[in-house]
């Protein structure tokens, strides 16, 4: 077991701070920026509406950046140091590289990202379950882990595409709200007719240059990007919760000693489609305390 003072407790503190402080703020910020956009969309000034949209994009993409930073640190880190050190030493290339490589990752990568495997070993090999898992129960847990890794891979693939699509808008938001005033710049279709959308200025240029644009009605962009932000929040929450669960079975003694508690259920977070697991496996999992939320109507 890693040293409590150097590894375990600081890592737990990082995860708790993100869960209890950062995530609530991300949720409130996303809701607030959507409310603001809805309040200004019918403004006489189209520039004001575009600035409101950029704020919504910024708050949605902030959690995507969190996911990329956190997941990259969990999977790469710094040699000899717990992952939170890398997560707090921000490097924008970590986020870009993480999302750019997602489509190339094999299933084992996502099993490790979800906390089910470590250094080639299943987490079941590290912790004792009482009573021990039967062969059928172990197969059910394996199925749940694989289904979770599959869904996480799909969601991260979607987030990766959205990061590539909107990251320049995010950077424009963070660097002085670099939105081109529609009185100065407009988007034209192939016939030369103006279409609704938003244009941002490129950064780090000696002269004004268009950096990126989106060509949908602003309310449609807002609806889409808000859903992206909500998915990113769910992803960040999953990555944090599944690792925090492991600390529930670690007993920290007053003298600094660390012991593991026998497991009756499971500390791991599953995020999966029922059809990817099967009804029989779901019954076995329920017998071990794994109860899935009811499907949304």
Say if CB 236 and CB 74 are below 8 A apart.
Answer: no
Q: Domain limits at 41? A: 4-170+218-287
pLDDT tens digits for the chain (297 residues)? 677 777 888 899 999 999 999 999 999 999 999 999 999 998 878 999 999 999 999 999 999 999 999 999 999 878 788 888 888 888 888 999 999 999 999 999 999 999 888 777 787 777 777 788 899 999 999 999 999 999 999 999 999 999 999 999 999 998 887 898 888 888 888 888 888 889 998 887 887 778 888 989 999 999 999 999 999 999 999 999 988 888 877 888 887 788 877 776 677 789 999 999 999 999 999 988 887 765 544
The answer as to whether 123 is a domain residue is yes
pLDDT of residue 297: 43
Query: How many structural domains compose the chain?
Result: 1
The answer as to whether 179 is a domain residue is no
pLDDT of residue 264: 67
The answer as to whether 178 is a domain residue is no
**Could you tell me the pTM of the whole model?**
0.90
Residue 182 burial (CB count, 10 A): 18
The answer as to whether 176 is a domain residue is no
The answer as to whether 91 is a domain residue is yes
The answer as to whether 93 is a domain residue is yes
The answer as to whether 208 is a domain residue is no
The answer as to whether 196 is a domain residue is no
């Amino acid at each position: 077991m890693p040293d409590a003072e150097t590894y375990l407790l600081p890592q737990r503190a990082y995860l708790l701070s993100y869960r209890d402080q950062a995530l609530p703020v991300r949720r409130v910020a996303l809701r607030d920026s959507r409310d603001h956009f809805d309040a200004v969309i019918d403004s006489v000034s189209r520039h004001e509406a575009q600035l409101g949209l950029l704020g919504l994009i910024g708050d949605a993409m902030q959690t995507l950046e969190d996911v990329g930073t956190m997941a990259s640190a969990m999977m790469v880190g710094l040699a000899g140091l717990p992952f939170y050190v890398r997560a707090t030493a921000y490097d924008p290339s970590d986020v870009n590289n993480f999302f750019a490589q997602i489509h190339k990752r094999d299933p084992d990568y996502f099993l490790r990202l979800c906390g089910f495997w470590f250094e080639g070993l299943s987490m079941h090999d590290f912790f004792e379950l009482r009573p021990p898992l039967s062969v059928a129960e172990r197969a059910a847990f394996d199925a749940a882990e694989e289904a979770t890794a599959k869904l996480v891979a799909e969601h991260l693939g979607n987030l990766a595409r959205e990061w590539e699509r909107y990251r320049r808008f995010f950077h424009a938001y963070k660097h002085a709200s670099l939105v081109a005033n529609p009185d100065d710049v407009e988007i034209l279709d192939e016939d030369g007719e103006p279409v609704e959308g938003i244009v941002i200025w490129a950064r780090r240029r000696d002269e004004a240059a268009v950096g990126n644009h989106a060509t949908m009605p602003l309310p449609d962009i807002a609806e889409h990007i808000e859903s992206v932000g909500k998915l990113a929040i769910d992803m960040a929450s999953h990555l944090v919760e599944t690792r925090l669960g492991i600390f529930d079975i670690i007993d920290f003694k007053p003298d600094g000693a660390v012991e593991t508690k026998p497991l009756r259920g499971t500390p791991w977070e599953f995020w999966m489609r029922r059809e990817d697991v099967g009804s029989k496996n779901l019954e076995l999992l329920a017998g071990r305390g794994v109860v899935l939320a009811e499907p949304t109507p």
